Structure 1
Amino acid sequence: MESANWFTYVRDNWEFIFDEILAHARIVLIVVALATVTSVLLGVYIQRRPVARAVVLALSGVVLTIPSLALFALFIPLVGIGNPPAMLALYLYALMPILRNTVTGLDSVSPAIVESAKGMGMNTSQQLLKVRMPLAWPVIMAGVRISSLMTVGIAAIAILVGGDGLGTFIQGGLTRFGLPNSENSVWTGVVFTVLLGLVLDIAFATAQRFTTSRGLRV
């Protein structure tokens, strides 16, 4: 790939590229948001239930062993082609890092701190919302960041089940490999997927900093 030709390709196709960046980001943000809500609620529930904890974490880990394209295809009979099957599969992939970090973060809260909160008259819900969750939050957000990076990468193959995103350029370039601009198309998909992952990671890191108690900020 010659850089001059690639920059020319990007300039000439910027409107289309920008549309796919937005589509890719929209898929990732929706999936990560849903996975975060589910994982945090589920993590809180299973953290003090050893049997449920072992089963849920094991199942979420098993999902990661399923090839992504196969998992995408499994949902096609249920929801058809396009973004829905890709988003359902991505949602399952996104659960594991956040769920595990939620449990780990809650585990890391010192029992002495919880006892102190109890001694101050806080009930179980208040202990969770005012003490345990704020202390576990940096670890949970680390899981969200990992999940977002993973989702950005896997979402690039959503095009194979009719989805949107930057994978359009990768597939298009590989399909026309050897023809003019085929390499530029592939590199466009790869480069902007990486850049999108970095931008979202920075955004989540910033959100983590401003939503973490001042005394816990690094």
Structure 2
Amino acid sequence: MALLPRMDNPICVIENSADNRLSVNENAQTILAQITQPLVVVSIVGPYRTGKSYLLNKLSGRQGGAFSVDPTIKAHTKGIWMWCMPHPIKSDHTLVLMDTEGLGDPEKGDKDNDCMILSLAMLMSSAVIYNSSGVINQDALEKLNSTLNVYIEIVHKASFQKMKAQSKEDTGNMAPFFVWVIRDFTLKSVLDGRSVTADEYLENCLKDVRMY
């Protein structure tokens, strides 16, 4: 079994400069290149100041957490950070957890930059956790829909360049596994007088939304 490169702390894999330009961190690239096992990449995305880093720390199982957290109202994570660890179930795989910069930071005020970070996270990931608080609202659906459209366009163009062009509908099947985590949800899960599951609640919110 290949040993993982030593990581005392998470490392920034996609840097976001003061002028909102994204770049790859060469040190992170070197670490990933040293891993010979298959990677399972799980990233967490969503609005800023909703506890993404805290949730990812819980998933890491590391005592004291892996990712830096901050209890203030100011956005904390910049760019995309990664933490590599042995997969808890598949001993021949490496688990890569990715923490992303929060969306909608008013101090940044750059929707295009938000969209690029989201798209990169989706392109790099086996599974994406979308973290939000309260209920699923129209604003969250619009942000998610616009990002998915960008993602599909990128993958579709990449497939075309390799002479393996597919329809956008087929390309959508290449999207990573998606989990929507709703934090601080205190309402009763009841629709039209009957109790519904979390999946049924999500499906009801998406029924009039055309994705891709």
Q: TM-score range by the shorter chain?
A: under 0.3
- Return the index of the structure with the highest Cα Rg: 1
Structure with more relative contact order (C-alpha pairs < 8 Å, separation 6 or more): 1
TM-score by length of 1: 0.27
- Name the structure where strand makes up a greater proportion of residues: 2
